[in-house]
Amino acid sequence: MHGADRPGIVAAVSQVLAEHGANIVSLDQHTDDPNGGRFFQRTVFTLPGLVVGIPALEAELQSVLAEDLGMTWELNQRAEAKRVIILASRSDHCLLDLLWRHRRGEIPMTIPMVISNHTDMAEDVRGFGIPFFHVPSVTGPDKSESERKIVELIKGNADAVVLARYMQILSSDFLREVGVPVINIHHSFLPAFIGAGPYKKAKERGVKLIGATAHYVTEELDEGPIIEQDVIRVSHADTASDLQRKGAYVEREVLSRAVLAHCEDRVIRDGNQTIVF
C-alpha cells in the first residue's frame, strides 16, 4: 500500500487485520518525508481460512485504506506463484540463469514459455521442460506484426514479462496491449551508457566500474523505474570483450534479484521510482 502520509495508517491496517483474526508476520514501512510526504507499507500476515475470508477482508480494506485514508493498495497470496514469460535473443546467460533458479525453486514463479526472435536456445529451453516459441524479428521500423504475435502468446498467460537480454525495442502499443509489468536487464549501471553497445562506450570512457540495471520497461528507452543494480571493478587492462564477459556475471545476478523481488511482491512503484522492501 502507498499514498500520502498521515498519522494512524499503521494502526488502521493492524486493527483491520486483527479484527479478521490475522497474525502479522512482518511489517515494513517507509516515509520519504515525515512532514507530509509519501508513505509505503508492506505487511505479511497469515490468516486461517484466508480463501473463504478474502471477500470480507478486501471489502473492509477498501473502506479503510482507499476510502478513509486515500491509499492505493493490493492484496496478494504468497502461495500463488507468478506466471513469468521470458523473452530472449541470442545471449543465453540471463535466460539460463533464470531457468536454473526456477528449477531449483529459488524464485516463486512458473514459466509458461520462453519466446525468442532466434532459435539458438530452443533445445536448451526445452531441456528444462519449458515450451519455446520462435517469433522472428521484422527488419525495419514497423515491428507491429511480430509484436502482435508475441502479445497473442502472452495474453492471459502471464503476470509479468522478463526481457532476458531481448535485443528489441518494444513499442508503446506492445506495452499497453500486453497489460502486465515488463522487467528488463540493461547491461550498464543506468543512467550511464543508455542504449546499445554500453561496454564499448564504457571502455572508451575508461571507467573503473561497470554494472547492470534491472528496471521496469516504459515508453522511454532505459528510463523506467529501477528495481536492482550492482557493479564490478575493472581496470585499464580490460578490453571491451573482458568488460562484456565480466558484466555478464553482474547482469544475471541483478536480473534474478529483481525478478525475485517482483515475484515476492516486495516492489512498490511510485512514479518513476521504486520502493523495494
Beta bridge partners of 43: 27
Report residue 119 as a C-alpha cell.
532459435
Strand pairing class (114-116; 82-88): parallel
The widest CA-to-CA distance across the chain, in whole angstroms, is 64
Dist CA 102 CA 113 (whole Å): 13
Helix (H) / strand (E) element for 267: namely: strand 267-270
Residue 214 contacts residue 184 (beta carbons within 8 Å): yes
Among 92, 97, 222, 238, the active-site one is 222
Report residue 207 as a C-alpha cell.
571507467
> C-alpha distances in angstroms, 153 versus 142, 202, 268?
19, 36, 27
Which residue from 167, 268, 162 is spatially nearest to 217, judged by alpha carbons?
162
Tell me, yes or no, if 68 is annotated catalytic: no
Residue 138 DSSP code: P
Helix (H) / strand (E) element for 151: namely: helix 144-154
> C-alpha distances in angstroms, 179 versus 58, 80, 151, 225, 274?
23, 19, 9, 17, 19
DSSP 58-113: HHHHIIIIIIIT--B-----TTSPEEEEEEE-S--HHHHHHHHHHHTT-SSEE---
Q: Which residues are catalytic?
A: 222
